[in-house]
Amino acid sequence: MGELRGQIERRRDAMTDEHASSHVRRQFARGRRSPPHALAALVLVAVVLVVLVAIAGSLAAQATGIVRQGPAASPAPLTVLDAGQLRAAIEAERAGGLAPRDVLADVAIEPGRRTPPLDRECVPLGQCTVTGTLAGFDATSGTVTVRAQDQMLPPPTDLASLQPPVALRLSSGPIEFLGHVTVGPADRAYDVPEALALTKTAANGEVIAATGWLVGVEGFSCGPVPQPGPIVPAPFSCQLSDFLTERASKPVSRIGLSGMGSGFQMHPPPDAVEVQIGAYGQFAPQPSFDGVNDVPRFGTYLLRMVAIDQSNCRHCRGWLAVGRLDPQAVVTSPVPSGYQPLVRSSDELALALARDRSALVGQVVFVDGQIVPGTASGCTDPGPCSLGMLEGTTEQVVATPFVVSQFVAGVEAQGRNVLALLVRPNGLEYLGVSGTPLALSELGDPLVTNGLPLQVHPVEAWLVGEGAVPCASFVNAPPAGTPFDRCGGSWLTASAQQPVQRNGDGLSIVVPAGAIRVQPGAYDEFAPSPAPEPDGVGYRPREGTYLVRMVTWTPAGGRAEMGWQVIARLAP
């Protein structure tokens, strides 16, 4: 194992070129090792580029060391649901319309009550096996399963492990058992140093909740092909790891010298809890990539200890990220927003427009209908692009070139759907496909939004902006009016929080935890009565029901990024 750890440290200082980086990124996205021929290519590239590391040496350490953002993580208080609260949460999930949710519960699981069929389909995908039934629940509402996952050991299901408190994943499908939980001191989550200290003593299968910043590592090889022997499970299956850190750290830095190529170097964050590679993509809220690093995401994550001792992994101990606890653990209604949009038929909209079009001009309407012919591929004109006619009416539907650029084959304005349309003096403008109202915390959950561009959702939140800031011009700049434009910023927050703070004689931006970044200028355009704070630091947060749209952008030589764009205010 000592030799293995030595290989880990050596490989963390290796570098790859950008082509190899994108190849390995795809391998990591599937949670598997790179094939041997790909590894050979990566090692060759690393050998060629390692000279750069030697030359860059201290310069890299000083200029491109770990980037720290945001305050140290404070451990969150934990909510452990009693039987009544757990029942309400299960019923809300079964009603549909909610993302799967991880919870802690003070309810035992009875292994003797295993109701057929013992093998069931997990949500959204995968195979689950029945392990028992929640004490005091019937088989319909309380059947508990364990998910089978490639290269990942399941949690222990002996009688002691099934005693409360337990970690569960609730969804519209089977309840999933994540493990027996040890609650931190004073009924709170563990902080990162505490979780790190537990690495040496936690029992196999023990689950803890730890609060910190989760960050992923991409573009580096997992290392040599494993030697013959038993399968090495996660988190030991790759010689790299993702990290849970006390402060927001960015471990990957770009290294380049004029005329000698470029590459990347990794600086493992000090005093971080190592978790399996791919944990960031699976559990980080609103995962995003800044071109070099995954953007660290703050949260309270569920970690399960894996302790094994086998011929090719002697006395291995490590943490497996298995879930995330959101602040709102109990949902009592399948609809998280009090705003319900009025959905009209095409005929009803036509009648309303004929009766008094001027009253609707500039407003967003939701129509259960379709556009014929419903396509505008290849539209590059600076003006609006014609999509066709709203079925059953004489209303022409147009879209901006940017919206047309977001079309995904088979998902755009074709087919019957609830369409979000802006009423114009002489037609309608297509904004996207309307979804259900969402809570702010759900905007970052791809299981809710499906990650498709042009999905629009009403969300109740506070909108705040930092105001105009001077910016330089950039090559390959992101589209204007999108959340990818970092020249200024606006955010949707769960409460009236001010990101602009005075720092000595200057100002700094501290983004509130759980905030959703939207395009610069959104505050000025959509916040009701936008106004500066009385002390002149930032602008006053304004509450409202905003219509947000998922959009995507692929920078030159990079990978697609997704974000939210405010396109209207629905109330007040």
Which pLDDT score, from 0 to 100, does residue 500 have?
82
Tell me: cis bond preceding 77? Omega within 30 of 0 counts: no
Cβ contacts of 496-503, under 8 Å, gap ≥ 24: 496/462, 496/464, 496/541, 496/543, 497/462, 497/464, 497/541, 498/464, 498/533, 498/537, 498/538, 498/541, 499/464, 499/466, 499/538, 500/466, 500/467, 500/537, 500/538, 500/539, 501/537, 501/538, 502/537
Integer Cα distance of 428 and 420 in angstroms = 10
3-state secondary structure of 275: strand
Q: Within 10 Å of residue 116's Cβ, how many Cβ atoms?
A: 8
DSSP string, 425-472: TTEEEEEEEE---B-GGGGG-HHHHTT-TTEEEEEEEEEEE-------
Tell me: cis bond preceding 296? Omega within 30 of 0 counts: no
Q: Are 547 and 432 in contact (CB under 8 A)?
A: no
Q: Within 10 Å of residue 526's Cβ, how many Cβ atoms?
A: 21
Q: Checking DSSP bridges between strand 396-399 and strand 427-434, what pairing results, if any?
A: parallel
Q: Are 265 and 13 in contact (CB under 8 A)?
A: yes
Place of tokens 């008094």: 356
Q: Nearest to residue 445, comparing CAs of 300, 216, 568, 282?
A: 282
The 8-class DSSP code of residue 216 comes to -
Which pLDDT score, from 0 to 100, does residue 381 have?
62
Integer Cα distance of 563 and 552 in angstroms = 6
Q: Nearest to residue 373, comparing CAs of 350, 397, 353?
A: 397
Which pLDDT score, from 0 to 100, does residue 473 have?
61
Pair of tokens at residue 421: 């349309």
Place of tokens 């556009």: 371
Domain assignments of the chain as residue spans, ordered by start: 2-73+186-325, 80-180, 343-434, 440-571
Integer Cα distance of 294 and 301 in angstroms = 17
Which pLDDT score, from 0 to 100, does residue 387 have?
87
The radius of gyration computed from the CA coordinates of the chain, to the nearest angstrom, equals: 26
Which pLDDT score, from 0 to 100, does residue 221 have?
67
Q: What is the dihedral of CA 267, 270, 275, 278, to 10 degrees?
A: -30
Integer Cα distance of 52 and 6 in angstroms = 22
* pLDDT, tens digit (0-9, with 9 covering 90-100), for 214-244: 998 766 667 665 566 788 999 998 888 999 9
Cα distances from 537 to residues 520, 531, 565, in angstroms, run: 17, 11, 24
Which pLDDT score, from 0 to 100, does residue 337 have?
45
Cα distances from 506 to residues 176, 235, 371, in angstroms, run: 49, 43, 52
Which pLDDT score, from 0 to 100, does residue 379 have?
66
Taking 70 as the pLDDT cut, the residues of the chain under it are 1-74, 218-221, 223-228, 256-262, 327-339, 374-382, 408-415, 445-451, 467-475
Q: Where are the alpha helices (DSSP H) in 366-435?
A: 401-405
Q: Checking DSSP bridges between strand 506-509 and strand 455-465, what pairing results, if any?
A: unpaired
Which pLDDT score, from 0 to 100, does residue 405 have?
85
Which pLDDT score, from 0 to 100, does residue 69 have?
39
